[in-house]
Amino acid sequence: MPLSLIKTVGVIGTGVIGASWTALFLAKGLKVIVTDPAPEAEAKLRDYLQKNCAKIPNAQVTINDCFKNLRFVKDIDAYLGDVDLIQENGPERLDFKRRLFAHLDAKTPEHVLIASSSSGLPSSEFVTECTNKPARILIGHPFNPPHLVPLVEVVPHPGTGDEYVTAACQFYRSLGKDPVVVKQEAPGFIANRLQAALCAEAYSLISRGVISAEDLDKTMTSGLGLRWALTGPIMTNALGGGGDFNHFIDHLGPAFKSWLDDMHQHQFKLDSPEEIGNVKGRVNDWVSRVNLEEVEKKRDEALVDLVRNK
């Protein structure tokens, strides 16, 4: 499936993620055939595109052309012969995805790559009833908002063909995205696991009153996060070791271990209504005083600058 042949993308589901993918595909000049069973879905999507297509970095067509290349259909079955790639964004329910993928696999020509935006369910769990060509199915998990954040986690299931992993990465890269390959189906993939590991400790520190929610965020936005936006955790370790990762881990490993042991003793219990209530109270004390619309608007503007300058 040479990349030059990907001219038309099928998008299934136009919630937050599906709408954002649609905006990106259209802005890059692709034709998009899109479906969503929700009432008002088409009107909401058009409204979203109107607001967001023009903001996409390196857009290749005008907003008018975006709308010309969009086709919203009630039932996508009749169009499955016309698409070169499908990006699926349905609900994260196993029974739903199993039925949907069995159907898509049966009805879509064999050469068409089918990617799921699933943020948690590994595809091995929902290709179980695909009897046509499950080798062309994989996860292409974007990061919110997908039209601004470059990361896509490409996660094959054990039966996915390597050529489809390569093709998916090439396709996403051609849109200006930055794909990574997750070689085994770990629950939560990579970024969400890293996020959960850090957030669990953040919740513990806040609920124990070690630091306020506002200051916790500041340790990231004025410290750790500034470095991690530019060099990831591993390169940051290596630079911290004077260019030598071995020196870093030999030198700081014992300290990391002692901190982790202490964290383990104060582990936040995500299934404890009392601990959850405690962190909610402390977080909301701060968040309720903040103009979130303004924060989000500034964040999105800064995100565009940051991605452009990298």
Q: By CB under 8 A, what part of segment 166-185 binds a copy of itself? A: 178, 180-184
Rounded to an integer, what distance in angstroms lies between the CA atom of residue 204 and that of residue 202? 5
In whole angstroms, the minimum distance from the beta carbon of 293 to a copy of itself comes to 8
In whole angstroms, the minimum distance from the beta carbon of 57 to a copy of itself comes to 13
The CA-based angle 195-152-229, given to 5 degrees, is: 55
In whole angstroms, the minimum distance from the beta carbon of 73 to a copy of itself comes to 28
SS3 of 117, please?
A: coil
From 200, 207, 278, 294, residue interacting with a copy of itself (rule: CB under 8 A) = 200
Stretch of residues binding a copy of itself (CB under 8 A), selected from 2-10, 18-26, 27-35, 251-259? 251-259
- Tokens representing 118 are 């699933």
Exactly one of 153, 274, 275, 293 is catalytic; name it: 153
Burial 85-102 (b: 16+ CB within 10 A, else e): bbbbbbeeeeeebbebbb
Rounded to an integer, what distance in angstroms lies between the CA atom of residue 280 and that of residue 22? 34
Distant-in-sequence, close-in-space partners of 261: CB < 8 Å, separation ≥ 6: none
In whole angstroms, the minimum distance from the beta carbon of 303 to a copy of itself comes to 6
Stretch of residues binding a copy of itself (CB under 8 A), selected from 48-56, 124-132, 160-168, 262-270? 262-270
Select 79 or 245, whichever has its Cβ closest to a copy of itself. 245
Stretch of residues binding a copy of itself (CB under 8 A), selected from 33-41, 63-71, 108-116, 257-265? 257-265
- Interaction between residue 124 and a copy of itself (CB under 8 A): no
- Interaction between residue 63 and a copy of itself (CB under 8 A): no
The CA-based angle 29-30-34, given to 5 degrees, is: 130
- Interaction between residue 259 and a copy of itself (CB under 8 A): yes
Cα dihedral across residues 116, 84, 128, 164: positive or negative: negative
Cα dihedral across residues 71, 76, 81, 86: positive or negative: positive
Q: Are 153 and 121 in contact (CB under 8 A)?
A: no
The alpha helices in 208-244, defined as continuous H runs, are 213-219, 225-230, 233-240
- Interaction between residue 284 and a copy of itself (CB under 8 A): yes
Select 63 or 181, whichever has its Cβ closest to a copy of itself. 181
From 29, 37, 81, 253, residue interacting with a copy of itself (rule: CB under 8 A) = 253
Rounded to an integer, what distance in angstroms lies between the CA atom of residue 118 and that of residue 97? 9
Select 129 or 305, whichever has its Cβ closest to a copy of itself. 305
153 given a catalytic annotation: yes
Rounded to an integer, what distance in angstroms lies between the CA atom of residue 110 and that of residue 106? 9
Q: By CB under 8 A, what part of segment 207-226 binds a copy of itself? A: 208-213, 215-226
Select 112 or 205, whichever has its Cβ closest to a copy of itself. 205
Distant-in-sequence, close-in-space partners of 149: CB < 8 Å, separation ≥ 6: 142, 143, 303, 307
In whole angstroms, the minimum distance from the beta carbon of 193 to a copy of itself comes to 5
- Interaction between residue 289 and a copy of itself (CB under 8 A): no
Q: By CB under 8 A, what part of segment 131-170 binds a copy of itself? A: 143-144, 149-151, 153
In whole angstroms, the minimum distance from the beta carbon of 148 to a copy of itself comes to 9
Select 104 or 115, whichever has its Cβ closest to a copy of itself. 115
Residues tagged active-site: 153
